[in-house]
């Protein structure tokens, strides 16, 4: 049975900048950073005042290419991320390793979030933030979770940037869960969100205290109110703020 696509999936396909190419019988991913739909996506985000005050997004193609190529080059031997093969600065393109697998799709089983939460936390521990942590950017390949999009990645140990990454993953996960389960029990939802946070924190209570202070900023309530449907937005904020 073909998997039903949600709004986030359709938007992801609409704004996609990546295509699969074959070279000598081997698959690679070719990303074109100056492709119009991709530019439009980041222009919309850059033009919105709320996210930009939290994370330094860029919609300049060359800057996005530089961010992603640096991230992949530095972390491909440390974490499950694709290897960069060729950077075309003139054509603003990147050829990278193609990861065989399937996109991570949020579900009701709490355990399935463990590896994604670990991946996000590991990236932060290596001194990076991703900026765009929607669930579609994670691929399940074998028993590993790969991050396949890092065009907004920056070197950062700023807890605000890390809090943003976790927030975006939780928000996009919520949207998918509610889309697939319109009458999702609020207590089931609460358990899922808390499990993701627990997997990310890995017992680091000091980090959680720092992040709760960040999530108490008004900007997060504004974003949750716009992006997440009732009553899940209130529950998400309550959890993030430790109340």
pLDDT of residue 36: 47
The pLDDT score that the predictor gives to residue 230 is 93
What does the alpha-carbon distance between residue 17 and residue 132 come to, in Å, rounded to a whole number? 14
pLDDT at 38: 46
Q: How confident is the model at residue 21 (pLDDT cuts 50, 70, 90)?
A: confident
Backbone angles phi, psi at 104, to 5 degrees: -65, 135
User: Residue 186: which domain range?
Assistant: 7-240
Q: What residues contact residue 231 under an 8 Å CB cut-off, 6+ apart?
A: 186
pLDDT at 185 over 90: yes
In a domain, 133, yes or no: yes
Beta bridge partner(s), residue 139: 103, 146
The answer on pLDDT for 211 being more than 80 is yes
Query: What is the total count of domains within the chain?
Result: 1
The answer to whether 163 touches 81, Cβ cutoff 8 Å, is: no
pLDDT, residue 47, reads 43
In this predicted model, what pLDDT tens digit does every residue of 106-163 receive, in sequence order? 999 999 899 999 999 999 999 999 999 999 999 999 889 999 999 999 999 999 999 9
What local confidence, expressed as pLDDT, does residue 40 receive? 40
- Residue 166, domain member (yes or no): yes
Name 26's bridge partners.
Answer: 23
Residue with tokens 């039903």: 4
Residue 109 lies in a domain: yes
pLDDT at 16: 57
- The answer to whether residue 1 sits within a structural domain is no
| Mode of pairing for the β-strands spanning 102-103 and 128-129 | unpaired
Confidence of residue 23 (pLDDT cuts 50, 70, 90): confident
In a domain, 63, yes or no: yes
2, part of any domain: no
The confidence score (pLDDT) of residue 53 equals 73
What pLDDT digit, counting tens, does each position of 28-59 carry?
999 998 864 443 444 444 444 555 578 998 88
What CATH number has the domain bearing residue 173?
1.10.510.10
Contact present, 30 and 19 (Cβ < 8 Å): yes
Confidence of residue 9 (pLDDT cuts 50, 70, 90): low
In a domain, residue 195? The reply is yes
């Amino acid at each position: 049975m073909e998997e039903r696509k949600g709004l986030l999936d359709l938007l992801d396909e609409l704004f996609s900048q990546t295509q699969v190419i074959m070279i000598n019988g081997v698959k690679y991913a070719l990303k074109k950073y100056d492709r119009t739909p991709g530019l439009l996506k980041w222009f919309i985000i850059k033009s919105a005042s709320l996210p930009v005050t939290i994370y330094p997004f860029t919609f300049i193609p060359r800057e996005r290419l530089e961010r992603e190529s640096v991230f992949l080059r530095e972390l491909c031997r440390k974490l499950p991320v694709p290897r960069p093969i060729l950077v075309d600065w003139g054509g603003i393109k990147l050829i990278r390793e193609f990861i065989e697998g399937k996109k991570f799709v949020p579900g009701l089983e709490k355990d399935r979030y463990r590896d994604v939460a670990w991946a996000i936390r590991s990236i932060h521990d290596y001194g990076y933030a991703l900026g765009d942590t929607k669930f579609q950017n994670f691929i399940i390949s074998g028993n590993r979770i790969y991050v396949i999009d890092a065009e907004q990645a920056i070197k950062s140990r700023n807890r605000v940037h890390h809090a943003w990454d976790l927030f975006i993953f939780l928000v996009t996960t919520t949207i998918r869960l509610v889309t697939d389960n319109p009458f999702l029990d609020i207590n089931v939802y609460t358990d899922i969100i808390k499990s993701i946070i627990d997997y990310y924190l890995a017992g680091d209570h000091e980090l959680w205290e720092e992040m709760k202070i960040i999530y108490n900023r008004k900007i997060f309530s504004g974003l949750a109110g716009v992006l997440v449907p009732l009553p899940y937005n209130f529950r998400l904020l309550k959890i993030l703020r430790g109340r």
